[in-house]
């Protein structure tokens, strides 16, 4: 499996409030992106805490026998830490929050955990499928068929999240499982990319650069967002299932 990630502050922000993790495991990989909520004090702290919680859990044991429940409990723990940190007495980090999208490619399967409006895509045989739903006002309107993807990208309330880590003490985590196939590409991205580059355009870039190393592709996706304005921090993580042994020992 070929894996790469790239992050950039963009052209307008003073600091990078995105965080990511790419980590090899026995039997697979984990990829994660987190986008500290813009306008909230401590967004960079919240995104970093989410990724650090995942890293800590992985150091304490592999996600077996139930990867889905493992990811759910990990995200809930990250939420508790961020929520209580933000509400410490006289804390300057009050109301901090972050998105969090995690992809576990393990034993031939893809397990997803997701909160917020960062995205995960599956690119397979010339098609691109968005695996996550945006937990935002525009995401709900798209899901209901009231907005198209490009309309949502330009909607005045596109940044209004309906779910994020740290926003409430208890929250729902979206969990999903997908079988992997040889040649699959799994792409995670914060909205610094997806608010400027459509899913169709992402697919076209992946196909155009299919012979390039994954490191070149992730950097080019980030550069494309910068060329279109780079209004936000931009983070991309990509895994390419390029060997049959990546599919061995499917977990269910």
- Kindly report which listed range (69-73, 78-82, 86-90, 216-220) carries the lowest average pLDDT score: 86-90
Asked whether the predicted pLDDT for residue 138 surpasses 90, the reply is no
Q: Does the residue 250 lie in any domain? A: no
Distances in Å between the Cα of 72 and the Cα atoms of 11, 66, 69 are: 34, 10, 5
The 10s digit of each residue's pLDDT in 194-242 is: 999 999 999 999 999 999 999 999 999 999 999 999 999 999 999 999 9
Q: What is the pLDDT of residue 136?
A: 84
Q: Does the residue 200 lie in any domain? A: yes
Q: Does the residue 251 lie in any domain? A: no
Asked whether the predicted pLDDT for residue 151 surpasses 90, the reply is no
Cα–Cα distance, 65 to 154 (Å, whole number): 43
Q: Does the residue 80 lie in any domain? A: yes
Q: What is the pLDDT of residue 157?
A: 64
231 against 93, higher pLDDT: 231
pLDDT band at 86 (very low <50, low <70, confident <90, very high): confident
Q: Does the residue 110 lie in any domain? A: yes
Report whether 199 contacts 225 (CB < 8 A).
no
Q: Does the residue 252 lie in any domain? A: no
Asked whether the predicted pLDDT for residue 252 surpasses 60, the reply is no
Give residues with Cβ within 8 angstroms of 80, minimum separation 6. 169
Average pLDDT of the residues in 174-181: 98
pTM for the structure as a whole: 0.92
Q: What is the pLDDT of residue 27?
A: 86
- Nearest Cα residue to 110 out of 93, 125, 124: 124
Nearest 5°: the CA angle 135, 124, 112 is 35
Find the CATH number of the domain harbouring 118: 3.60.40.10
203 against 93, higher pLDDT: 203
Q: Which domain holds residue 220?
A: 2-244
Average pLDDT of the residues in 19-48: 90
Burial of residue 82, with CB atoms counted within 10 A of its CB: 0-12 exposed, 13-18 middle, 19 or more buried: buried
Cα–Cα distance, 206 to 212 (Å, whole number): 9
Mean residue pLDDT of the chain comes to: 91
Give residues with Cβ within 8 angstroms of 133, minimum separation 6. 114, 139, 143, 174
Pick the most confident of 74-78, 95-99, 138-142: 74-78
Q: What is the pLDDT of residue 89?
A: 53
Cα–Cα distance, 20 to 165 (Å, whole number): 15
Q: What is the pLDDT of residue 92?
A: 64
252 against 136, higher pLDDT: 136
252 against 7, higher pLDDT: 7
Q: What is the pLDDT of residue 246?
A: 87
How many distinct structural domains can be found in the chain? 1
Asked whether the predicted pLDDT for residue 81 surpasses 90, the reply is yes
């Amino acid at each position: 499996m070929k894996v790469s990630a790239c992050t950039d502050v963009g052209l307008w922000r003073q600091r990078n409030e995105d965080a990511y993790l790419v980590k090899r495991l026995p039997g697979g990989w984990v990829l994660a992106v987190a986008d500290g909520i813009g306008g909230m004090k401590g967004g960079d702290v919240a995104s970093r805490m989410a990724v650090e919680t995942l890293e800590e859990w992985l150091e304490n044991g592999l996600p077996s026998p139930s990867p889905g429940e493992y990811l759910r409990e990990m995200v809930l723990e990250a939420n508790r830490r961020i929520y209580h940190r933000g509400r410490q007495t006289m804390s300057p980090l009050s109301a901090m929050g972050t998105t969090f999208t995690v992809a576990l490619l393990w034993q031939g399967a893809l397990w997803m955990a997701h909160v917020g409006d960062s995205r995960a895509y599956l690119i397979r045989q010339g098609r691109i499928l968005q695996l996550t739903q945006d937990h935002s006002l525009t995401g709900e309107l798209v899901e209901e068929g009231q907005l198209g993807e490009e309309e949502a990208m330009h909607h005045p309330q596109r940044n209004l999240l309906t779910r994020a880590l740290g926003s409430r003490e208890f929250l729902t985590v979206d969990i999903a499982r997908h079988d992997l196939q040889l040649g699959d590409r799994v792409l995670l991205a914060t909205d610094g990319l997806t608010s400027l580059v459509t899913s169709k355009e992402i697919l076209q870039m992946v196909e155009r650069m299919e012979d390039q190393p994954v490191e070149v592709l992730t950097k080019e996706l980030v550069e494309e967002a910068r060329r279109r304005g780079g209004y936000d921090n931009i983070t991309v993580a990509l895994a390419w299932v390029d060997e049959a042994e990546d599919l061995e020992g499917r977990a269910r």
